[in-house]
Amino acid sequence: MDRLLDPLFGVGAVDAAFADLARLQGMLDFEAALARAEARLGLIPERAVAIIQAACDARRFDLDALGREAAAAGNPAIPMVKALTARVKAADPEAARYVHWGATSQDAMDTGLVLQLRVAIEYLQGDLARLAEALALLARDHRRTALAGRTWLQQALPTTLGRKAAGWLDAVTRQRARLGELRPRLMVVQFGGAAGTLAALGEHGMDVAAALAAELHLAAPALPWHAERDRVVEFGCWCGMTVGTVAKIARDIALMMQTEIAETFEPTGHGRGGSSTMPHKRNPVGAAVVLSAAHRAPGLVATLVGAMPQEHERGLGGWHAEWTALPDLVRLTAGALKVTADTVAGLEVRPERMRENLDVTDGLLMAEAVMMALADRLGRLAAHERVEAACKKAVSQGRSLRDVLADEADIAGAVDLDALFDPLGYVGTVDRMIDAALARHHQD
């Protein structure tokens, strides 16, 4: 862990869920639950359970020693099982015979990972809900706050801030739904033994898997998934999509914070957004964190996807590639999500500046509105040509488009120019769109 940068890019509770101690404890929780499950089925002596369980405390292990041994063994579960067995043997040599009974190292590591992910997902769901509620409030409060819609970074047509927020909200709502859909597929135990057949347990293998899952409050999959990594990759892809979703929000807010735009601002606070040399600066520091995650996340997702073609019953190298890539990705996702939720909840909105920016083109923004009004009389192409010519004249003469059109009697007499140059008169069905996004949010 990096004490200087982790507070900037991560979330303390999620970082802790993937710390060395938590990784080890997840594996030990697997071992303790395995002993309980097997004793319940009469496969190991009941008296061994309490002794094994008492030894499954990560704080009693030497992490540095385990790390050094993992470098030689190929994974940290192998030295962990060795150390656990030694601890149990010191208390009861007979009980030590039943440590890790019928399991393999990947069973302990994968199930431990799922337990870590369960903790992280609780935080992710909480911040997703918090972000969604903040976006819903923004959409409701600003459904009639006129704003220049922009395409290719240029002003296009009027919209509203509420419509923009509703678009952000609907994307977040979809991510919440996706997480709910994939979670049952992910929250499963891994238990297959050496080659995925549970041969060491004879006819009892599947019964132990079910009992183990129940002990850990996980589901029991139809089969072990040692080399079929779609579960963790699906979650990794969800993380990548979530980072991309909140990065879109961050990008928009950062662009709207530009000095020349100045339509929204991230919340202020002591030491937030300043410059080391320029006292006047108000930097989009939250957006910077989120966008940095968006730069890093795709490579981590690609690592997970690239590791999927694993060899035969247990992979060589591909599984190992997940060990740091997935935790890093989850931590980045948690950090980006938290920062975005904080930013939206405290977003400073400047409607008056939005109105000023709507007028910056002297009415050109409303050209399509005029064209469509004239199209009923002239036909769409003829109306387009007339309004395009008027736009060119307005630019060349430095006049407003409305004044130019007012000089053309056939146009001024055919349409209500005052109504056509009201931005809120040409925002289509944004109210219905906002209502639809809000309805979906409340159903989630």
Active site residues: 275, 314
Determine the straight-line distance between the first and last CA of the chain, rounded to whole angstroms.
35
Residue 36's alpha-carbon distances to 49, 85, 92, 371, 401, in angstroms, are: 6, 16, 17, 75, 79
Q: Which of 330, 324, 318 is nearest to 293 (CA)?
A: 330
Q: Which of 107, 172, 108, 99 is nearest to 135 (CA)?
A: 172
- C-alpha of 280 from chain center: 33
Residue 14's H or E segment, with its range, is: helix 12-17
Residue 182's H or E segment, with its range, is: helix 161-186
Strand partners, 159: 147
Asked if residue 195 lies in contact with residue 313, where contact means CB atoms within 8 angstroms, the answer is: yes
Asked if residue 117 lies in contact with residue 186, where contact means CB atoms within 8 angstroms, the answer is: yes
DSSP sequence for 325-365: HHHHHHHHHHHHHHHHHHHHHT-EE-HHHHHHHHTTTTTGG
Give the β-pairing of 146-151 and 154-160: antiparallel
Cα diameter, the chain? 103
Q: Which of 148, 140, 362 is nearest to 256 (CA)?
A: 148
CA-CA-CA-CA torsion sign (36, 39, 40, 41): positive
Q: How far apart are CA 173 and CA 128, in angstroms?
A: 8
Helical ranges in 217-281 per DSSP H:
230-256
Q: How far apart are CA 330 and CA 144, in angstroms?
A: 37
Q: How far apart are CA 191 and CA 371, in angstroms?
A: 67
Q: Which residues contact 8 (CB under 8 A, 6 or more apart)?
A: 289, 335
Length of the chain equals 444
Which two three-digit tokens encode residue 346?
């405290």
